[in-house]
Amino acid sequence: MHHLPLLPLLLLLCSRAEAGEIIGGTECKPHSRPYMAYLEIASRHGFLLSCGGFLIRRDFVLTAAHCAGRSIKVTLGAHNIEEKEDTWQELEVIKQFPHPKYDDSLLHNDIMLLKLKEKANLTLAVGPLPLPPQFYFVPPGRMCRVVGWGRTGVIKPGSDTLQEVKQRLMDPWACSHYSDFKHKLQLCVGNPKKINSAYKGDSGGPLLCAGVAQGIVSYGRHNAQPPAVFTRISPYRPWINKILKSN
């Protein structure tokens, strides 16, 4: 039997520390982020993992490719993931579409679409999030928000309730210590002088800038020291559109 905590499992899943958990954030107003999806993943090695994601169409969730697994269950309409409510909609994923050029050692193209078995019902607690157009390049300096159920401290257990934290988009040089960082396809997120950070468990969750999803939590340092690296969404619009159209 495996009774390992989530944190080392997430590290196993990925070749480097992941951005995953919100540290220094605040609890979201329940159901104020109706696109948020909680992903329970049965990994290919039989472990249970969790990730964030977000609804972009009634039957599609966007997340990180490193959250792929043998099977994935999606919960929509949740605030406290340990307390089932009438707002919950639990859906099976029938097909995982990791980006065809996802590189699991460099963590490039860390983006994945999940096709749900049924269409989610649109309610006050469940609804899709708009994506940016293809050529919208979000510039450094903007303040954005990261949302997730990740842990609330490096040694604290996972948060049961949805959390969010404000994060600054940094100049690419602030991520130059990540040797594989690509400014065109990734975002450098979080002021190194602040402790607020996305951390383990938030992987796959959105970066929201003025209410639009501009990034997906991808990876960071083991000690959660910002900045972290997020996948940009806008360059992947043609790929996203193609899969949405044909599925």
* Cβ atoms 72, 41 nearer than 8 A: yes
Alpha-carbon distances, residue 48 vs 41, 53, 69, 81, 180 (angstroms) = 6, 16, 9, 15, 28
Tokens of 159: 């948060």
Q: Which is nearer to ligand NAG, 121 or 241 (CB)?
A: 121
Cis peptide before 227 (omega within 30 of 0): yes
Span from 40-48, 115-123, 144-152, 209-217 in contact with ligand NAG (CB under 6 A): 115-123
Q: Which one of residues 120, 147, 213, 233 is an interface residue with ligand NAG (CB under 6 A)? A: 120
Q: Which of 99, 110, 159, 197 is catalytic?
A: 110
Q: Which is closer to ligand NAG, CB of 120 or CB of 224?
A: 120
Does the footprint of ligand NAG cover residue 85 (CB under 6 A)? Answer: no
Q: Which residues have C-beta within 8 Å of that of residue 183, sequence separation ≥ 6?
A: 172
Round the CA-based radius of gyration of the chain to a whole number and report it. 16
C-beta of 123 vs 196, nearer to ligand NAG: 123
Among 50, 66, 99, 202, the active-site one is: 66
118 binds ligand NAG (CB under 6 A): yes
Residues taking part in catalysis: 66, 110, 203
Residues making contact with ligand NAG (CB under 6 A): 89, 91, 118, 120-121
